[in-house]
Amino acid sequence: MTKHTALPGFRDFYPEEMSRRQQIFEAWHEVARRFGFDLYDGPPLEALELYVEKSGPEIVNQLFNFTDKGGREVALRPEMTPTLVRMVGARIKGMPRPVRWASMPQLFRYEKQQRGRLREHFQLNLDIIGEESVLADADLLAAALDVLRLLGLGPGDVVARVSDRRLLHGTLVQEGVKEADLPLALSVIDKIEREPRPELLERLARLGIDRARGEKILDLTALDRAELRRRYGSSPAVVEALDRLDDYFEALAALGFADWVVFDMKIVRGLAYYTGIVFEIFDRKGELRAICGGGRYDGLFSSLAGIDVPALGFGFGDVVLGELLKERKLARTEARPADLAIVAVDESVRAEALRTVSRLRAAGLGVVFPYRAAGVGKALKAAGAAGIREAIVFGPDEAASGELVVRDLAAGTERRTTLEQYLKEAGDRTGR
Ligand code: HAM
C-alpha cells in the first residue's frame, strides 16, 4: 500500500472508470458533431478576476485560487463560460454567426464532497453565440437530451425542467418585487427545493415582502403556463415570455423530445448571468443532483468582452451522468481489449511474427504479443482471459508458407487463412 492517495474530491481513473469516462466522451463528441458544433479549448488556469465579477457568489466561494510566482491572482477554471466569452469576444468580428462551439473541459470547484459533487469534473459545454431565435434555445436542449438518448436513457429516466428568467421577472414585478430586488428574489426561488419554507419567507421578508405576498410568490412557481397566462395576461412582458415558450416547446416536440421536457418555474439556475430561458436536466426519480444545466445569457458578452451579442449554452457534467449510467446498468466497465494476439511458437520465427504484428497494426487492428516465451498454451490462455477474441499462432511452417492459423479464443476453433485474406476480412468487419 502506498501512503499517497488522491486528494479529496479528485478521482483516479483506473481502466474500468476510464472506460465509462470514454463512453461519456464518445457520446459528447458524437452529439457535438451531429449538431454541428466546432471543438475548442482554453487554459485550465485563468485570471481570478474573470470569475469574481460575473459568475456570482455560488461559484466564487468555491474557487481554487492562489497567487502565482509572478504575483498574479489566478484560479483553476470552475466553469467554461467566462473563458468562452473571453475567447469568442476577442475574435467575434470576423466570425460567421451564430458561432456554435463545443468543449469538454475539466473543471475545479472547492465544494463539499458529496454524491454527484466532486472537486473536479468534466463538462460538455455547448454554446451558441450571436443568435436570438428561440429555435436556438430549443436546438440546444435537444442536443443535451440527445446525449442521454445516445447513451441508452429515455424520457422515463430523465426530465428537462425549463423556465425563463424573463417570465420570472415579469411575474415577480407584478407581485410587487422591486427591479433592484429581483436577483435576490430569484435566489430565494432557486432554493425552493432545498430550504424549508419559513426560511424562504424570512429571506423574502428581508426584501420588504410581507408574509402573504411571500406565500403568493412561492406558490406561483407551481403554476402551469395556462394559469400564468390567466393571472398575468395583462403584463406584456409575461405574455411575450409565454408566447416564446410555446414556440420553444413546439420546436422541441418536432425535434423528437416532447416527452422529455416540462415547464417548471422553480428552475432559476444558480449562476448570476442567465437572462432568458433556463433549464436543468434531472433523473426522473429525483435522487441525484442536476445532470446538466444551462440557458441564455445575453448580457455576459457586453460585461466581459464589451460587445453586445446574445448567447446561450449549457454545461453537462460527467459525474451525475456516470452515476445514472451505473445505476441503470448502462455503463461500460471493461477496457477495450486488443483485437488479436500473435503468439510465436519459438525464437526462430520471432522476427517474422513481429513483422506480421506491425503490418496488422498498420492496418488499424489492435495487436499484442507475449514478451516472454512461456509456451503457446499459456499465452493463448492469458490472451483469452484478457478478453481478446482471436490469436494467430505463428510457427516455422506459417513463416515459410505465408499461411496463418487463426484461433477463436472463445470457441476454441481454428481456421487457416492468409495475411491478405485476414486483413480484408478485418477491414470488412471494422469498416476500415
Ligand atoms: P453549472 O450548473 O454550474 O453550470 O454546472 C453544470 C453541470 O455541471 C451540473 O449540472 C453538474 O452536472 C455539473 N457539475 C457542476 N459542479 C459539479 C461538481 N462539483 N461535481 C460534479 N459535477 C458538477 C455551469 O457551469 C455553466 N457554466 C454552464 C453553461 C455553459 N451555461 C452556459 N454555458
| Ligand 1 geometric centre to CA of 409 (Å) | 45
CB 336 within 8 A of CB 19: yes
Using a 6 Å cutoff on CB, does residue 117 contact ligand 1? yes
Furthest-apart CA pair in the chain: how many Å? 94
Which residues make Cβ contacts (< 8 Å) with residue 208, sequence separation at least 6? 178, 181
Angstrom distance (rounded) from CA 395 to CA 402: 10
Q: Which residues of 54-70 are buried (b: 16+ CB within 10 A; e: fewer)?
A: bbbeebbebbbbeeeee
pLDDT > 70 in the chain, percent: 98
Give the pLDDT mean for 401-407. Answer: 91
Which residues make Cβ contacts (< 8 Å) with residue 35, sequence separation at least 6? 100, 126, 139, 142, 143, 146
Using a 6 Å cutoff on CB, does residue 313 contact ligand 1? yes
* Nearest atom in ligand 1 to 125's CA: 30
Q: What is the DSSP letter of 159?
A: E
Give the pLDDT mean for 228-236. Answer: 96
Per-residue pLDDT tens over the stretch 297-319: 999 999 888 999 999 999 999 99
Report phi then psi at 273, rounded to 5.
-85, 0
Give the pLDDT mean for 321-330. Answer: 95
Residue 230 has pLDDT above 90, yes or no: yes
The residue whose CA has the least distance to atom 13 of ligand 1 is 317
Give the pLDDT mean for 45-49. Answer: 94
Using a 6 Å cutoff on CB, does residue 158 contact ligand 1? no
Angstrom distance (rounded) from CA 177 to CA 235: 14
Using a 6 Å cutoff on CB, does residue 311 contact ligand 1? no
Angstrom distance (rounded) from CA 261 to CA 292: 13
Q: For residue 1, what pLDDT band results from cuts at 50, 70 and 90?
A: low
Q: For residue 56, what pLDDT band results from cuts at 50, 70 and 90?
A: low
Residue 156 has pLDDT above 90, yes or no: yes
CB 4 within 8 A of CB 317: no
Residue 57 has pLDDT above 70, yes or no: no
Q: Dihedral sign for Cα 86, 90, 91, 96, please.
A: positive
Residue with cell 450571436: 130
**The pLDDT value given to residue 425:** 86
**The pLDDT value given to residue 431:** 63
Ligand 1, residues 319, 323, 324, 325: which to mutate, most atoms within 8 A of Cβ? 319
**The pLDDT value given to residue 61:** 86
**The pLDDT value given to residue 150:** 98
Using a 6 Å cutoff on CB, does residue 77 contact ligand 1? no
| Ligand 1 geometric centre to CA of 349 (Å) | 56
